[in-house]
Structure 1
Amino acid sequence: MRILITGATGNIGKAIIASLLELKIKSEIVAGLRDVKKDKSVFEKSDSLEFQEFDFEKVNQFNSYLSGIDILFLLRPPQISDTKKYFMPLIDEAVKVGIYQIVFLSVQGADKNSIIPHHKIEKMIVDSGVPYTFLRPAYFMQNFTTTLRRDILEKSEVFLPAGNARFTIVDVKDIGIVGAKILQNPESHQNTAYDLTNNEKLTFGEMVDQINEVTGQNIKFRSPNLLSFFFRKRKEGVPTMLILVMIMLHYFPRFQATPETSNSILKISGKEPENFRNFVKREQELFK
């Protein structure tokens, strides 16, 4: 069985591949890369790992990308918002080449929110008739060490219009473990969706407090109004589309019920999900 991992160089893709290699599964693992020559250097050499080109924007090459693939691990690159243009032909080709199962990285609440792209992609997959598994993770803890890290390092603050909304959260490493377990035995998870969260519901103020307690820093949480947030991020050179995504992720939850936590990580992986404080302890050098 050959498993293609799209978005292989991203946080999730790398976590999935690392967990698959650790499990030493018998399947062949194929990392889909936009630039194979350049991107394969981020992976350690392994006889179980192959590399091939995969570029979501090269629609006319989807057939060759999927040829010989049995299981497709699919995610949506943040810069791609036109799901009909890119994902409809991809899923159509998955049907044509006989993909056995699609494991799609969605988001928590995608089943209830028809506005977000993940909802539309989920529907396309269901309508295609290809067996599927939907992974619906909560807010990534790693956002603090990637997207939010610049403000933390340069301004000692987390600047988001999140107010006092409570968020369910998850460690990307736990997503990688769960994803690998599912890809190891995909038949047991067909036509199923899993919310992936830890056991906490925290505000950004509470998460920043924990970062300060662990690292000894004095980071502030500031919740600006939308105009202030938008114009500051544009001044910093953040693309408008990414700013809108950040607003969707952090502002809209203020007016929605807090999602529920889930026991899916424990159920599938056999281990308790990481809590936020332990995540900060593990990654604390990235906060300094």
Structure 2
Amino acid sequence: MTKVLITGATGNIGTAVIHALSQITHDLDLFAGVRNIIEDKIKLGRYNIKFSQFDFTDVKSYQPALQACDILFLLRPPQISDVEKYFKPIIETCQDVGVKHIVFLSVQGVEKSKIIPHHKIEKLIVDSEIPYTFLRPAYFMQNFTTTLRKDLVNKNLIYLPAGNAKFTLIDVRDIGSVAAIILTNIVQHINQAYELTCTERLTFSEMAGLLSTQLGRRIQFKSSNLINFFLTKRREKTPTMLILVMIMLHYFPRFQAKPAISNWVQIITGRQPITFEQFIKDNKELLSVGLPNENQ
């Protein structure tokens, strides 16, 4: 059997990939790369998957987890940005143990932006000469149920330094579906890069309008200058690294060309990608219920 190691297995993307694989017939030998096998076995208990101890911050965990691995599904946890310290040893370990293919979750527009870690990671993979597939998704719709959720449910507010920039979007369920199909047909996707988007391009004001309509309450988008945004988020005890990531994601697009819309989700899965409106409908309860203890 083909051994596949999925990193970030308990996160949004990793879980979406595992779930999508559970919905199709395949002969892959699936391993979830997790930091705490005992705890994470519970989180992924509904899936038929094995477990390997894998911690991005522990270089010693790389080789045991990657041993006899044929395909690595690799992503970059948001809090880890030191490519030389962590990702270079991962790729070198892949070379040492004979990993045959790397599917890397990158980001849309990575080829035009040398400052983001994904660009350096892609280069490491290409230079390693290990066959690869790069998935380059657009802005995650699930940011509204994670990073942006607190302001949304408690203040009816989207507070970001995004101005009137247009964004393409993607539901992580579509990323999972695409990744699952690629993992089960890897020879058809050797050394390919796929931008993954839905079929619409929206400003955050337009997203706020759709949220307002679907949720039945007025959601306001408020743009901010960088100083106010940074200070506001620090007062909220948001980690500095996360604030900088949010600035990179939301501020820099104001000065870039409109992102492209691709049809790779439809080509690979055979169906239209999930729309932002459908995402809101599917997550209405999560977007409507306040988080415990947040108003204290």
TM-score where L is the length of structure 1: 0.98
Counterpart AA for 1:32: G
CA RMSD, 1 decimal: 0.8
Residue 203 (1) aligns with residue 188 (2): no
Counterpart AA for 1:251: Y
Structure 2 match to 1:38: 39
- Does the CA contact (< 8 Å) of 2:32 and 2:50 recur in 1? yes
- In structure 2, how many angstroms separate the alpha carbons of the residues matched to 1:85 and 1:265? 33
- In structure 1, how many angstroms separate the alpha carbons of the residues matched to 2:35 and 2:235? 29
Deviates more, 1:78-87 or 1:61-70: 61-70
Deviates more, 1:53-62 or 1:239-248: 53-62
- In structure 2, how many angstroms separate the alpha carbons of the residues matched to 1:75 and 1:19? 17
Instruction: Give 1:65 deviation, angstroms.
Output: 1.3
Counterpart AA for 1:222: K
Structure 1 match to 2:229: 229
Give 3-state SS (helix, strand or coil) of 1:115's partner: coil
Residue 57 (1) aligns with residue 38 (2): no
Residue 149 (1) aligns with residue 172 (2): no
Instruction: Give 1:45 deviation, angstroms.
Output: 3.6
Structure 2 match to 1:23: 24
Residue 186 (1) aligns with residue 152 (2): no
- In structure 2, how many angstroms separate the alpha carbons of the residues matched to 1:85 and 1:277? 40
After superposition, the C-alpha distances for 1:210-260 in whole angstroms (9 at most, x for unaligned) are 011011011110001111100010010101111000000000000000111
Q: Residues 90-105 of structure 1: matches in 2 within 5 Å?
A: 90-105=90-105
Q: Residues 130-145 of structure 1: matches in 2 within 5 Å?
A: 130-145=130-145
Give 3-state SS (helix, strand or coil) of 1:15's partner: helix
Counterpart AA for 1:27: L
Instruction: Give 1:127 deviation, angstroms.
Output: 0.0
Structure 2 match to 1:277: 277
What percent identity do the matched residue pairs reach?
55
Unaligned runs of 5+ in 2: 289-296
Q: Report how many aligned residue pairs link the two structures.
A: 287
- In structure 2, how many angstroms separate the alpha carbons of the residues matched to 1:45 and 1:141? 24
**Stretches of 4+ aligned residues off by more than 4 angstroms:** none
Instruction: Give 1:61 deviation, angstroms.
Output: 2.6
Instruction: Give 1:155 deviation, angstroms.
Output: 1.3
- In structure 1, how many angstroms separate the alpha carbons of the residues matched to 2:61 and 2:279? 39
Instruction: Give 1:77 deviation, angstroms.
Output: 0.7
Residue 7 (1) aligns with residue 8 (2): yes
After superposition, the C-alpha distances for 1:75-101 in whole angstroms (9 at most, x for unaligned) are 001111100110011100101111010
Structure 1 match to 2:160: 160
Instruction: Give 1:43 deviation, angstroms.
Output: 1.4
Instruction: Give 1:108 deviation, angstroms.
Output: 0.2
Q: Residues 60-99 of structure 1: matches in 2 within 5 Å?
A: 60-99=60-99
Structure 1 match to 2:253: 253
TM-score where L is the length of structure 2: 0.96
- In structure 2, how many angstroms separate the alpha carbons of the residues matched to 1:281 and 1:69? 39
- In structure 2, how many angstroms separate the alpha carbons of the residues matched to 1:68 and 1:157? 48
